[in-house]
Structure formats: structure tokens, C-alpha cells
């Protein structure tokens, strides 16, 4: 028998927390004991995982005794308040929020891209933003062929990025509209059913929203390359759980479509969906509940030398969140 670990899931009853539990189970993570932590109102709830029933406990600063790995997915404010207590108790925190991503003392890791950065953690490892993860799984194999000068990306982001409440809003509004009613926004500012709108984060002085700047800054940190230019446009679309992204990458020299496809075919965590004859390319409905990012629609950018354009899809709750966190725990 190999070593097994005591694992805590913070935010256990949320959309990502539930996927973390499913992922630990599906990937046979060596769990000795599982501690499910959430707010006081969820305490006492029973959840099934690893063939057992576990009772959700209220998250406190004393929740981490004997825990080896703590998977956090309860938002930045909770991470900022409780992560230090977990580290003090001897756990390594894998944090799915934005709390520590840009902290220079915290590794920001996509296991297929920069696994070596895990080695210098001081007790906390950050999970990047879902859109950044999904993009870089496809960009990294191409970056290894030739340095990347510039990335232009437009996202088509699903409701799951706003958790269970976001998914529920899309679901309920769609039913209302289909029955002749009017969508009444509660979680989002704008109607979600049959609508597309700019990502629901604050717009900064430079005209970019917080989500877009996450993609800019996190890409530079993960790739260890401050020279990469990133221009992002982040948009919510009425899809339940997988994010899609239209990406154009400009290199410092020509990269052929053939070389790019060959690099993708050997890349971890990536499935090529590039059937031009049947107009079959990555779609959210085919990436749902899949661990791999789907990549395709690969072609030359006709407007620019040394540039390729392509399309990717990835399950926001899995590779964009829960799976990436569990993969980090596996590397630990």
C-alpha cells in the first residue's frame, strides 16, 4: 500500500466542491480521511463520496488538525481568512480562488504547463482562473515550438463560472422565457436566457474587466514570460458548464498548422477535435464532464504573418477548477 492522505474540501457543498469530491473518487486519490467543510448553514448535511457518507462540518480556524491537503473553493474572502490556519496546522492549501494567484510567494500552477513551480510552494498553491487554464493547456505546446509574442482571446463563458447559483439562474430563466415570461435577473445584472453579455466583473480604468486582466496577468506568471502580450475579451454566453475560447497566437517565427497539430497530438490534457470536412470542432456539449481540453478549428491567421487561430472548449468545473486542483494535489 502506498501512502494515503487526510484531505479537507473547503466549500464542499458548492458546485466546484462537489466536483472536487467526484474527482478525488474517480482518480482514486489516496484519501485516508475526508473532511467536508462549509458554512454554518450547511453543517450537518450528509454527502456521499468514496463509497462512504460524510457529514459536512462548519469551517473554523481549528478545522485543519491532521489534514495533509486542503482543497479550497469557497471564494477569495474565505481563503484569505482561513488558508493561513490550514498551513499553520501543517496542511498544503490548493486554493481555487483569486486570493493568492498574483502573490509572488505563491506558485500559480497548471500541471500540464508549469508543474515544476509546485516545488517552491510555502504551503499555498494557487489554481489559476478557469479561462486561463483552458487557454494555456492548448497554448503551451505551441509556445514550445516558437516563442509567443501575442495572444488575442475572446471567451464564451458558461454559467458554471458563477457556481451553482449562476447555473440555476440560466436554467430557471430559460424555462420562464420558453413559457412566454420575461427573464428577471437576480444573480447577474442582465437577462441570461437567450442573451450574451460582457463578463460580470468590474471594468477598470484601462477599459478591461477583472476577468480579462486575470487572463493577462496570470498568463505572464504561469509562462514565466512578461513579454507575452494578451488582449482578452470575456463574455458570458447561455451555456451551463463548459467555457469556449477563440484564440489567435502570434509567434516570433512561422509555425505551420502541421507542426502545431503534431505538438497538440503529444500534449497532455488535450484532445484534438479538428474535422473540417464535417465542420466538427470543439463544442461545450462535448467537453462537459471531460477531463481534457478540446482544441481545433486550427488555421493560419490570414491577416498576420506567423500567427495561428484556433478554438478550444473545456469543462469549467473540472479542468477549469476541481480537476486542476486535484492534479496539483497528485503532484504534491
Q: Catalytic amino acids?
A: 130, 243
Nearest partner of 31 among 60, 58, 45, 51, judged by Cα: 51
Q: How far is the C-alpha of 324 from the C-alpha of 118, rounded, in Å?
A: 13
Nearest partner of 134 among 309, 291, 305, judged by Cα: 291
Q: How far is the C-alpha of 67 from the C-alpha of 47, rounded, in Å?
A: 19
CB-based burial label for 266 (10 Å; 0-12, 13-18, 19+): exposed
Helices 323-331 & 15-26 angle (0-180, nearest 10):
50
Q: How far is the C-alpha of 82 from the C-alpha of 63, rounded, in Å?
A: 9
- In this structure, the number of other CB atoms found within 10 A of the CB of residue 120 comes to 10
Pairing mode, strands 148-157 and 124-126: unpaired
Q: How many CA atoms lie within 13 A of 190 on its CB side?
A: 14
Q: How many CA atoms lie within 13 A of 198 on its CB side?
A: 10
CB-based burial label for 162 (10 Å; 0-12, 13-18, 19+): buried
Element (H or E) spanning 312, and its range?
A: strand 307-315
Q: How far is the C-alpha of 191 from the C-alpha of 199, rounded, in Å?
A: 13
Amino acid at each position: 500500500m502506498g501512502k494515503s492522505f487526510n484531505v479537507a474540501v473547503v466549500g464542499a457543498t458548492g458546485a466546484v466542491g462537489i466536483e472536487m469530491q467526484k474527482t478525488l473518487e474517480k482518480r482514486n486519490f489516496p484519501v485516508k480521511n475526508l473532511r467536508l467543510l462549509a458554512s454554518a448553514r450547511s453543517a450537518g448535511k450528509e454527502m456521499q463520496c468514496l463509497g462512504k457518507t460524510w457529514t459536512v462540518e462548519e469551517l473554523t480556524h481549528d478545522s485543519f488538525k491532521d489534514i495533509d491537503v486542503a482543497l479550497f473553493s469557497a471564494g477569495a474572502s474565505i481563503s484569505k481568512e482561513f488558508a493561513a490556519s490550514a498551513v499553520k496546522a501543517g496542511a498544503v492549501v490548493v486554493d481555487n480562488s483569486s486570493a493568492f494567484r498574483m502573490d509572488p510567494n505563491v506558485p500559480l500552477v497548471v500541471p500540464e504547463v508549469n508543474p515544476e513551480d509546485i516545488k517552491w510552494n510555502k504551503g499555498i498553491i494557487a489554481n489559476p482562473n478557469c479561462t486561463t487554464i483552458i487557454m494555456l493547456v492548448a497554448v503551451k505546446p505551441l509556445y514550445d515550438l516558437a516563442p509567443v509574442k501575442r495572444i488575442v482571446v475572446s471567451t464564451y463563458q458558461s454559467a458554471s463560472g458563477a457556481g451553482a447559483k449562476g447555473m440555476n439562474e440560466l436554467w430557471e430563466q430559460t424555462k420562464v422565457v420558453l413559457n412566454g415570461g420575461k427573464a428577471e435577473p437576480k444573480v447577474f445584472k442582465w437577462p441570461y436566457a437567450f442573451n450574451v453579455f460582457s463578463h460580470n466583473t468590474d471594468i477598470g480604468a484601462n477599459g478591461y474587466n477583472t476577468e480579462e486582466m486575470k487572463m493577462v496577468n496570470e498568463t505572464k506568471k504561469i509562462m514565466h514570460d512578461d513579454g507575452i502580450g494578451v488582449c482578452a475579451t470575456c463574455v458570458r454566453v447561455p451555456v451551463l458548464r463548459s467555457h469556449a475560447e477563440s484564440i489567435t497566437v502570434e509567434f516570433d517565427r512561422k509555425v505551420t498548422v502541421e507542426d502545431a497539430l503534431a505538438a497538440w497530438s503529444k500534449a497532455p490534457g488535450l484532445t484534438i477535435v479538428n474535422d473540417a470536412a464535417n465542420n466538427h470542432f470543439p463544442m461545450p456539449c462535448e467537453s462537459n464532464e471531460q477531463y481534457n481540453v478540446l482544441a481545433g478549428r486550427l488555421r493560419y491567421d490570414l491577416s498576420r504573418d506567423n500567427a495561428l487561430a484556433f478554438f478550444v472548449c473545456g469543462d469549467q468545473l473540472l479542468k477549469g477548477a476541481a480537476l486542476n486542483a486535484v492534479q496539483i494535489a497528485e503532484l504534491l
